Structure 1
């Protein structure tokens, strides 16, 4: 699994964000990507790994406790026309609620991934 990760890209009130992604054509490959990411001790300790992918034309997503985050990622992948690819936004909770700002951070993280990978 060739996963690309951009770590420590956003920090707000103690919460920190990273974004990762790579090719995935099935749920098994998405699971392998998540397993590869969380094999790293630092990422294993993260609070949330929200993700989305478009697999064979079907959008799949997981909020992982960050309500609504998977849907935001999926919408951005659809707009970018990025199929057979998973994007994972990781958050380490910093102890303070971010309210609506957490959605802005998810959007910014996905934008960062798309820009850095030329997608």
Structure 2
């Protein structure tokens, strides 16, 4: 499991991104459970994620409507299969509007950069 914490801050909201090898929706649930063993991530407002596995694409917005689809699209563009990416947000009290999608994209980009090094 790779975790990049405190990568984006905007109007009080803070973002982290994490991920790792994952082959099934069941493994994705286990991955999220393991991530949430860290109390900081368990208390997050949103843990949105996407995964393209052999059985097809799977996502969860965790209340951040549309964020899972943003992650899936980026996984598809990079042809990254059997690897879950989770974008975590701690809400800072102010609505971000469409900026939240740009932050999800930037978080995924930063995560993918760690895979190519």
TM tier, smaller: over 0.9
- State the TM-score, normalized to the length of structure 1: 0.96
Q: Which runs of 4+ in 1 moved over 2 A?
A: none
Q: Does 1:40 align with 2:38?
A: yes
Shift of 1:12: 0.3
Shift of 1:57: 5.3
Q: Is the 8 A contact 2:24 2:55 kept in 1?
A: no
- Corresponding residue for residue 53 of structure 1: 51
**SS of the residue 1:39 aligns to:** coil
- Corresponding residue for residue 11 of structure 1: 9
- Corresponding residue for residue 118 of structure 1: 116
**Cα distance per residue 1:65-88 (max 9 Å; x no partner):** 000000000000000010011000
Q: Distance in 2 between matches of 1:9 and 1:110?
A: 11
Q: Is the 8 A contact 1:11 1:17 kept in 2?
A: yes
Q: Gaps spanning 5+ residues in structure 2: where?
A: none
Q: Is the 8 A contact 1:57 1:83 kept in 2?
A: no
- State the TM-score, normalized to the length of structure 2: 0.97
- Corresponding residue for residue 26 of structure 2: 28
**SS of the residue 1:112 aligns to:** helix
Q: Distance in 1 between matches of 2:38 and 2:2?
A: 13
**Cα distance per residue 1:1-49 (max 9 Å; x no partner):** xx11000000000000000000110111101110110000111110000
- 1:65-104 matches, within 5 Å, as 65-104=63-102
* Number of equivalences: 117
Q: Distance in 2 between matches of 1:29 and 1:7?
A: 22
Q: Gaps spanning 5+ residues in structure 1: where?
A: none
RMSD: 1.0
